[in-house]
Each structure stands twice: as structure tokens, then as C-alpha cells.
A and B are shown apart, each in its own frame.
Chain A
Amino acid sequence: MLPELGQLALVLALLVAALQSALPLAGAQRGVAAWMAVARPAAHAQLLLVGVAFAALTAAFVSQDFSVAYVAQNSNSLLPLGYRFTAVWGSHEGSLLLWALVLSLWTSAVAAFSRGLPGPVMARVLGVMGLVAVGFLAFLIFTSNPFERLLPAAAEGRDLNPLLQDPGMIIHPPMLYFGYVGFVVPFAFAIAAMLGGPEVRGEGEWRQWLRWTRPWTNVAWAFLTFGIALGSWWAYYELGWGGWWFWDPVENASFMPWLVGAALIHSQAVTEKRGAFRGWTLLLAIATFSLSLLGTFLVRSGVLTSVHAFAADPSRGMFILVFLGIVVGGSLVLYAMRAPDPDDGKPFAPASRETLLLLNNLLLSTACAMVLLGTLYPLLADALELGKISVGPPYFSLLFIILMAPLVALVPFGPLFRWQRDQPSRVVAMLWPWLVLAVVAGAIAFFLAPQGPWKVAAGVAGAVWVGFGTLRFAWSRLRPGNGSRGRLTPEMWGMVLAHVGLAVFLVGALLVEGMQVQREVAVRPGELVDLGDYEFRLVAVERHPGPNYVADRGTVEVLRNGTPYTTLHPEKRAYASGGQVMTEAAIDKGVTRDLFVALGEPLGDDAWALRMQIKPFVRWIWAGALLMMLGGFVTAADRRFRVSRRLSSRPDASGPEVTESTP
């Protein structure tokens, strides 16, 4: 009964989404207030309906209703209760439903907080979001129905993929989706801007809307940052190899929107404050959301080989591709026809903040294009019959470093340069001590590093430069006098946090790559293996049952310079249903280094395979990412972005009078 209710809710949601898009968009075009007024209630109704569907599927999982095919494929009676909740998004159909739910959440939020906008703008924004919802709901209902019945009910379910039975993996998809899907808001705004008539063209309107869109974009980007960081952290402790980024197509699919999303949030700042870069901001908004959709396509269509793609299906791939074509193709056609004059906004000199941010846009976009090329190259080669190719990680990492190095060098200059025109010598005077410090620190690190001296030096120098350069900016604003306010706005705090986060990330990424060490050995109980400052002794391996698995549990004593330091318990788990074997690495976490031990397989003759790693500063990677995420959220909280009713009642800004009377 409940699954059928869920299915009905989805169908109704589709109808509501169709109404939410058709009527308001037509209404905005023709100036019919009643049609435009449909948008808000439809948005809330959509959330309610999709929410009901999601709740129905969750209920089916929690109550272990194996008469629903999707539940039978992703859960079984041994699955602990907690994972039954999260198994809902364990594979394709359910994760799509989650996508739809997150979309309806964002839509409803936009509807709730859109009071300050002119009627036609709001109608168009919600209308475009409704169109996206129509696409996803149709995809769900017609090709990927999570509520399909399996009769008679399966006696036992297959099991949730053991890789997903893990706290990190639970929260990673929702956070990622909040980010991906959130970019629909700036996208919808961009479309609305291009669709609009005279009320759109004025510079005042542009800046007002951007003031409205910016917090949404920043929040979406912050969630995406969090989602990607979670994925990286999860891969590190779950996959057993100690790696934190593999340039795998699925990872790249989430990283590309992040890169252009970062460009977008900076470009929006320029357009909002100076009116310039309008074309860039529009295009970046389209690109970011398009890449989100592309990511969804790549992961589910079977077009690319990946270590962790969903069970892929070419016919579903076709549907998404057509959807992608309509959404992206349509918006780019609109862009070609309606994009604003590139000579917009106030002109700026070569030495100005605008120029630096333009470089920022270029570098980030190029990096994204480079990743896209590497990700799709195997497909291109296959289509052109050049053979089955894979692109190794060094392609990505080398080019990424080459592109990001100039960016890292320029970051401290950005906030300190004035708008429009500045003298470079003025800024250099503020920054050169920190440049010297960075070089000195880098040199010291170079000579102290046990290995990988170049990477270590680059990491330390880069981090000191960016970190202190950013703090120099904060100091220049905080200290009284010289026309500064003696405080930082949340927008500035957010920027400071995010840029410092970048510095922290640099330390983590470069130092771990430069200084990590590893050994893979065959050991017998009692034997001592040394690595770096530590010695590892395998004491024993015992059988150890779990709720839905049986594990071989190793006890490994860790010594530091001869004295006992800690004991680690790596495991190798065999899951009852499905028979999958999983490695649970044992990690001794630390601020300056992680100790990582993974148990291999029994090698006969009482020996076991053991992998040991020392990962210096690896946690700084995720700490840096978290700071960047925090920066995004803090920026979004700036009161300046809250557009009040008063602003929109300016005669030249709003549309017809009826704006004020919509509930």
C-alpha cells in the first residue's frame, strides 16, 4: 500500500512540477499575474509530494518490505537499522529520488525567501526549476521507478553493497546532491535574466538579483565542497589503499562543477559590485549546473569505466543525454541570442582587482576543461576506434599543478588590489615581507624534508604565502584608521576563511604526496617491520563476527623508537549475503601524521600480507576543505544579501504592481 502511495505521490509531483513551470513562465512572458502566482504554492506542493514519496521508500526499507524490488536489491534482514535508512540512496533509483527531494527542497526554499523579487523574475526562476524537476521526475517514473513491486516478495534481499555500509558513505551523497542541485538556483536566475525584457536590462536590477543569488550559490558551493571532502576522506579509510584522490571519472564528475562553481562565486562578486563580467557570470552559471547534470549522466550511463560507477544502463544514459541536450543546449542558445554586451560595467585598468578575478575565472575554467578532456578522452578514443585507453592520474595532477600554481601566487593580491585601478607597487609593499617569509620557509622545508623536497617546499611556501597574505588583508581592514571600518563583514570573513582553508589544504596535499612512505610485506606473528620512526609487529589474527559479516581481525602492535606506542586492529570482512570481501584499515589519527595499516590475505605458512603507511599531514587536506566550506557558509550569511521588500518597490526595479500582493 505504502509503495503505491509513494508512486502516486511521484506522479502527482510530476504534474505539479509541470504546472509550476508552464504557467509561471507563460505568465511572465504575457504579464498574467494569476499564472505567475502559481509558482510559489506549486513549489511547496512539490516538496510535500516528493517528501511523501521519499518517506514511503524509507518506510519500505525500515520495515524490510522485500516485495519492493529496489528494497530487495539493496537491503537484507541482517542489515542494521541505521543502514536501512541510508540504503534508500544505495543505488540508482533511490539516489535519483534523493536528487528529486533535494531539488524540491531548494525550490521550496527559493519560493519561501523570494518575497523581495519582482513577480516576473520570481516566476521565471521557479519556472525553470520546475522544468528541471519535470525532467528528473519523468526520468524516475518512466525509467527508474524505485517502487516497482516484486511479487511474490523475495525471501531475502541481496544486501547493501558493503562499501556503502559506513558512516562516511551515508552522508556523502546527500551533501554532494545539496551542492550539485543547489547550482540550479544561479542557473535559473541566469535563464530568467536572459528571458526577461526591459526590467532586466538595467544595471541596478542586475546587481540586485546578484545580491539575491549570491548566498544561494555560495551555500551550494559550500555543500559541494563538503560532499567532495567526505568522498575523499571516505575513500581514504575505506578503500584500503590510503589514497585520497584518484582522478577517477566519478570523482572528476563532482570536481568539475566545483571548479567552475568557484569561478562563479568570484565572478558574481564582480558583477554585483561593479556590473562587469555579466557575460562570464551568466556563462559560468550555465556551465556549473550543466556540469552537475553531466556528472549525473556520466555516473549512471555506463559510458565510462570507473571503479565506482552505479550499475549502468545505456537506455537510461540516453534519457539523461536528451535531457542534458535540452537544458544545456537550450540555455546556450538563449545565451547566444540574449547575452549582454561584453563592454558592460565600468571599465577597468590592467592593474586592478577585476583583472585578477578575470585571471581567476580563466585559470579555473581552463583547469575544468583540462579535467573534462582527460575524463572524456577514453570515450573519444573508443568512438574514433583508436583503442581502449585509460588516462593515468599523472596527466591530471601535473596539469592541475601547472594551472593552479599561478592562481596560488595571485590569491593574496586579489583582496588587496582596489577596484578599477590601482598601483601594483602599493600592494607589493604590503606583501613582500610575506613573500620573503614564504621563500625562507620553503627553503627550510626543502632541507628538512626526509624525501620529496620539492613538493614539501612548494607546499610550505605556498601555504605561508597564501595564509599570511590573506591575514595581511584582514589586518589591513581590522586596524583602525586609513579609512577602514575596523571590522570585517561576513563576506570578508568568509573569504578569509576560504583562502586560509586553501593554504591549509596546500600543506596537506603537497606534504603527504611528498613525504608519505609505504611498505607491503609478508609477516608472521611476532615479526617486526620498521617504517620511518615506527616499528610494526603483527601479534595475531583471529576470527571476529559482526552483525552481518565475519572478519579476520589482526592485532598489530606499533612501537616508536622501541617503546610501545599504540595497538591497531585491521580487519578483513566477509559479508554474509553477496559474499563480498572488504578491507577495514586501522588508522592511528594524528594532526601531523596518520599511521595506516591494512590486512591483506593469508599467505600460507602462517604468514599474512600487511600494508603499512605513514601519511604526514593528510588530515590537513580535509581540514582545509572544511575551512573552505565554512567560508562559503559565512559569506552567504552576510546581511547585505537579504533583499528586503523596500528595495524592490523602487519604481524602476519591480514589475507590475501586483508583485506586492502575491502571498
Chain B
Amino acid sequence: MNPTRRRRLVWVLALVAAAAVAAALVIAALERNLAYLYTPNEVISGEAGPEVASGEARFRLGGMVAEGSVSREEGSLESTFVVTDGDARMEVSYTGILPDLFRENQAVVATGRMQGGRFVAEEVLAKHDETYMPKEVADKMGEAHARHGVADDASGTGQ
């Protein structure tokens, strides 16, 4: 093999090796940092999977803050509220400062894990602009309603 050819080959092999290492790193990093979004109904019904329900896996809970559900322990940073998706309700507890746009009847996404039947949030996010709801939460809630035909319910017994 002539030297130019060999040098080319070395370059190519080095590149391929580097690419393989990079790909492996990327896949590993992605897997470790993916957070799935689930609605209360998906968690409760078991659709979200056993690791989510048992509290092993960290995930994001999305829905709306149920009206009248926000309560704070007087004088402390601990608060509880209920997240609903139009289908099911999930109690959430959180210790910390709630974001500015956090309000009842508004969309919310909380990151954390299940602990004994309630969701313990490490982070609570509400959106920072005028759009009402994060697309992914709306999608999910739309699906829930399509499933149960709440919006089209003829007899009015959706809830």
C-alpha cells in the first residue's frame, strides 16, 4: 500500500473510531437524561409503567392545577396542590418557591417522582408567555378526553 493510501486509511479509521466513541457517549448521555411526560391518569392507571408508579423513575407530571387545591402550610415553603388532566387527579407536594406564573386552572409541569401515592416535585414549571398550555400537555389531555368522550358526551355525565 502506498504511503498516501495508508495515511488516508489511518485517517478514516481514526475518524470512524472517534465517531463510534462519540455515538456511544451520546446514546449513554441521552438515556440517562431523558424525562418522560405523563398525565395523572397515565400514572394511576399504570400506563406509565411500574418504575414510574413505584417511584423508582424520575418523570414529569403534566396537567392543570385543580381549582381550590393549592394550600400552603402557614409560614413555610411546603405546599400541596392537585394536578388534574380532566380524567384523574394527583396530589403533589413541593417544598420551595413556586414560579411566578403558577396559578390555579393553569397548565403546569412538575419534575419529580412518586412517593407513597403522591407526587413529590423537585421542580415546578409554568410557562413564561401568553400561550395557555405547553403543547405536550395539551396533546395528552386532548387524548384523554377523546378516549372518554368527555367533550362529546351526550348525557352530560362526563364527570
Direct contact of A and B (CB under 8 A): yes
Contact B128 A388 (CB under 8 A): no
Q: B36 — which chain A residues lie within 8 A by C-beta?
A: 387-389
Q: Is B1 an interface residue (CB 8 A)?
A: no
Name the residue in A350, A603, A611 with the highest tally of chain B Cβ atoms < 10 Å from its Cβ. A603
Compute how far the CA of A572 lies from the CA of B97 in the bound complex, rounded to whole angstroms.
Answer: 13
Contact B75 A524 (CB under 8 A): yes
Q: Is B34 an interface residue (CB 8 A)?
A: yes
Contact A387 B30 (CB under 8 A): no
Contact B26 A240 (CB under 8 A): no
Compute how far the CA of A554 lies from the CA of B29 in the bound complex, rounded to whole angstroms.
Answer: 42
Q: B134 — which chain A residues lie within 8 A by C-beta?
A: 305
Q: How far is the CB of B100 from chain A (nearest CB, A)?
A: 5
Contact B37 A394 (CB under 8 A): no
Q: How far is the CB of B126 from chain A (nearest CB, A)?
A: 10
Q: Chain B, 58-72, contact with A by CB distance < 8 Å: what is the 0/1 string? A: 001010000000001
Compute how far the CA of A9 lies from the CA of B62 in the bound complex, rounded to whole angstroms.
Answer: 46
Q: A394 — which chain B residues lie within 8 A by C-beta?
A: 29, 32-33
- Assuming the contacts A161-B129, A161-B130, A389-B37, asked whether A305 and B136 have C-beta atoms less than 8 A apart, the reply is yes
Q: How far is the CB of A355 from chain B (nearest CB, A)?
A: 10
Compute how far the CA of A520 lies from the CA of B123 in the bound complex, rounded to whole angstroms.
Answer: 13
Q: Is B89 an interface residue (CB 8 A)?
A: no
Q: How far is the CB of A627 from chain B (nearest CB, A)?
A: 30
Q: Is B145 an interface residue (CB 8 A)?
A: no
Contact A308 B25 (CB under 8 A): no
Give B136's nearest chain A residue, CB to CB. A388
Q: Is A395 an interface residue (CB 8 A)?
A: yes
Contact B34 A391 (CB under 8 A): yes
Contact A609 B97 (CB under 8 A): yes
Contact A390 B37 (CB under 8 A): yes
Contact B100 A395 (CB under 8 A): no
Contact B35 A389 (CB under 8 A): yes
Contact A522 B30 (CB under 8 A): no
Q: A582 — which chain B residues lie within 8 A by C-beta?
A: 100
Contact B72 A603 (CB under 8 A): yes
Q: Is A424 an interface residue (CB 8 A)?
A: no
Q: How far is the CB of B23 from chain A (nearest CB, A)?
A: 10
Give B31's nearest chain A residue, CB to CB. A395
Name the residue in B33, B74, B127, B140 with the highest tally of chain A Cβ atoms < 10 Å from its Cβ. B33
Q: B77 — which chain A residues lie within 8 A by C-beta?
A: 520-522, 600, 603, 609
Contact B29 A308 (CB under 8 A): no
> What is the size, in residues, of chain A's interface with B at 8 Å between Cβ atoms?
51
Give B130's nearest chain A residue, CB to CB. A311
Q: How far is the CB of B54 from chain A (nearest CB, A)?
A: 18
Compute how far the CA of A522 lies from the CA of B72 in the bound complex, rounded to whole angstroms.
Answer: 12
Q: A393 — which chain B residues lie within 8 A by C-beta?
A: 33
- Assuming the contacts A308-B129, A374-B30, A520-B97, asked whether A388 and B75 have C-beta atoms less than 8 A apart, the reply is no
Q: How far is the CB of B104 from chain A (nearest CB, A)?
A: 14
Contact B74 A603 (CB under 8 A): yes
Q: A607 — which chain B residues lie within 8 A by C-beta?
A: 74-76
Contact B29 A603 (CB under 8 A): no
Name the residue in B29, B130, B140 with the highest tally of chain A Cβ atoms < 10 Å from its Cβ. B29
Q: How far is the CB of A611 from chain B (nearest CB, A)?
A: 6
Q: How far is the CB of B73 from chain A (nearest CB, A)?
A: 8
- Assuming the contacts A305-B135, A311-B131, A388-B139, asked whether A522 and B76 have C-beta atoms less than 8 A apart, the reply is yes
Q: Is A1 an interface residue (CB 8 A)?
A: no
- Assuming the contacts A583-B100, A604-B74, asked whether A307 and B128 have C-beta atoms less than 8 A apart, the reply is yes
CB under 8 Å from chain B, chain A span 598-647:
598, 600-601, 603-607, 609, 611
Q: Is A302 an interface residue (CB 8 A)?
A: yes
Q: How far is the CB of A582 from chain B (nearest CB, A)?
A: 6
Interface of A is mostly: mixed
Q: A399 — which chain B residues lie within 8 A by C-beta?
A: 25-26, 29
Q: B135 — which chain A residues lie within 8 A by C-beta?
A: 302, 305
Q: Chain A, 292-317, contact with B by CB distance < 8 Å: what is the 0/1 string? A: 00000000001001011111100000
Q: Is A581 an interface residue (CB 8 A)?
A: yes
Compute how far the CA of A311 lies from the CA of B130 in the bound complex, rounded to whole angstroms.
Answer: 7
Contact B35 A390 (CB under 8 A): yes
Compute how far the CA of A459 lies from the CA of B26 in the bound complex, rounded to whole angstroms.
Answer: 23
Q: Is A163 an interface residue (CB 8 A)?
A: yes
Contact B33 A603 (CB under 8 A): no
Q: B38 — which chain A residues lie within 8 A by C-beta?
A: 388
Give A599's nearest chain B residue, CB to CB. B97
Contact B37 A600 (CB under 8 A): no
Q: A609 — which chain B residues lie within 8 A by C-beta?
A: 77, 96-97
Contact B97 A600 (CB under 8 A): yes
- Assuming the contacts A308-B129, A389-B37, asked whether A601 and B75 have C-beta atoms less than 8 A apart, the reply is no
Q: Is B22 an interface residue (CB 8 A)?
A: yes
Compute how far the CA of A373 lies from the CA of B7 in the bound complex, rounded to whole angstroms.
Answer: 31
Q: Is B125 an interface residue (CB 8 A)?
A: yes
Compute how far the CA of A161 lies from the CA of B101 in the bound complex, rounded to whole angstroms.
Answer: 13
Compute how far the CA of A45 lies from the CA of B157 in the bound complex, rounded to whole angstroms.
Answer: 65
CB under 8 Å from chain A, chain B span 2-21:
7
Compute how far the CA of A394 lies from the CA of B140 in the bound complex, rounded to whole angstroms.
Answer: 26
Q: How far is the CB of A63 from chain B (nearest CB, A)?
A: 24
Give B134's nearest chain A residue, CB to CB. A305
Give A572's nearest chain B residue, CB to CB. B100
Compute how far the CA of A382 lies from the CA of B136 in the bound complex, rounded to whole angstroms.
Answer: 9
Q: How far is the CB of B75 from chain A (nearest CB, A)?
A: 4
Q: Chain A, 161-172, contact with B by CB distance < 8 Å: what is the 0/1 string? A: 101000000000
Compute how far the CA of A163 lies from the CA of B125 in the bound complex, rounded to whole angstroms.
Answer: 16
Give A386's nearest chain B residue, CB to CB. B36
Q: How far is the CB of B43 from chain A (nearest CB, A)?
A: 13
Compute how far the CA of A402 lies from the CA of B74 in the bound complex, rounded to whole angstroms.
Answer: 46
Q: A662 — which chain B residues lie within 8 A by C-beta?
A: none
Contact A377 B30 (CB under 8 A): yes
Compute how far the CA of A447 lies from the CA of B143 in the bound complex, rounded to whole angstroms.
Answer: 55
Q: A163 — which chain B residues lie within 8 A by C-beta?
A: 128-129
Q: Is B98 an interface residue (CB 8 A)?
A: yes
Q: B125 — which chain A residues lie within 8 A by C-beta?
A: 307
Q: Is A398 an interface residue (CB 8 A)?
A: yes
Q: Chain A, 364-394, contact with B by CB distance < 8 Å: what is the 0/1 string? A: 0010001001100100001000011111111
Give A573's nearest chain B residue, CB to CB. B100
Name the residue in A392, A393, A524 with the highest tally of chain B Cβ atoms < 10 Å from its Cβ. A392
Give A583's nearest chain B residue, CB to CB. B100
Compute how far the CA of A459 lies from the CA of B22 in the bound complex, rounded to whole angstroms.
Answer: 23
Q: Chain B: residues with CB nearer than 8 A to chain A?
A: 7, 22, 25-26, 29-30, 32-38, 60, 62, 72, 74-77, 96-98, 100-101, 125, 127-131, 134-136, 139-140
Q: Chain A: residues with CB nearer than 8 A to chain B?
A: 161, 163, 239-240, 302, 305, 307-312, 350, 366, 370, 373-374, 377, 382, 387-395, 398-399, 402, 520-522, 524, 572, 578, 580-583, 598, 600-601, 603-607, 609, 611
Q: Besides A388-B140, A522-B77, 12 other CB < 8 A contacts?
A: A163-B129, A308-B128, A312-B131, A366-B22, A382-B136, A388-B62, A389-B36, A392-B35, A520-B77, A581-B100, A600-B97, A604-B74
The 6 closest A-B pairs by CB, nearest first: A605-B75, A600-B97, A388-B37, A392-B33, A395-B33, A607-B75
10 A/B residue pairs, CB under 8 Å, sorted by A: A305-B136, A311-B129, A312-B131, A389-B35, A390-B35, A390-B60, A580-B101, A581-B100, A582-B100, A607-B75
